[in-house]
Amino acid sequence: MKTFDYTIKDKLGIHARPAGLLVKKAGALTSSITISKDKKVVDAKRIFGIMGLSVKCGETITMTIEGEDEDEDAEALEDFMKETW
């Protein structure tokens, strides 16, 4: 299991469209991926869950990656987060 924290820098936070991007990215990876914020945990492959977190600029989320390819997937995801937000 791999985890990393990420602080959202985009001033709009993770809204509908960016949530879609994240779902797309997570969906393409084989690991199971969860996002948590304030003890709330959601599946990163489900758009409503992510939108429901209502992540805003400056807030920190924790991503947990679990699976056979967790090392590569975690890296890919972290790169994606940095590029996108």
Partner 1 sequence: MIIIKGTGVFGGIAFGKLAFYKRMENAVKRRKIDDVSAEINRFEKAKEMAILQLRNLYNKAFYEAGEAQAQIFEAHQMMLDDGDYCESIVNIVTTRQANAEYAVALTAGNFSKIFLEMEDAYMRERAADVRDISKRLINALAGGNQQGMHFVEPVILAADDLTPSETVQLDKEKILSFVTIGGSINSHTAILSRMMNIPAVIGAGDSLRAEYDGKEAIVDGFTGTVYVEPDANTIGRLRKKANAHAKKKNLLERLRGQENITLDGKKIDVFANISSVTDVAIALEHDAGGIGLFRSEFLYLQKKDYPCEEDQYKAYKLVAENMRGRKVIIRTLDIGADKQIDYFNLPIEENPALGYRAIRICLDRTYVFKTQLRAIYRASAFGNIAVMFPMIISMDEIKEIKDIVETVKSELDAGGIAYSKEVETGIMIETPAAVMISDMLAKEVDFFSVGTNDLTQYTLAIDRQNRKLDRFYDSHHPAVLRMLKTVADNAHKEGKWVGICGELGADLALTEFFLAIGIDELSVSPAYVLPLREKIRGIDLSANK
Residues that bind partner 1 (CB under 8 A): 15-17, 19-21, 23-24, 43, 45-49, 51-52, 54, 56, 83-84
Task: State in angstroms the smallest separation of the CB of 1 from partner 1.
Answer: 21
Choose the catalytic residue: 4, 13, 15, 76: 15
Instruction: Please tell me the distance from the alpha carbon of residue 42 to that of residue 26, in angstroms, as a whole number.
Output: 12
Told to judge if 74 belongs to the known catalytic residues of this protein, a careful annotator would answer no
> Measured from the CB of residue 68, what is the shortest distance to partner 1 in angstroms?
21
Q: Name which of 36 and 84 has its Cβ closer to partner 1.
A: 84
* Pick 15 or 37: Cβ nearer partner 1: 15
Between 10 and 71, CB nearer to partner 1: 10
Cβ contacts of residue 24 below 8 Å, gap of 6+?
none
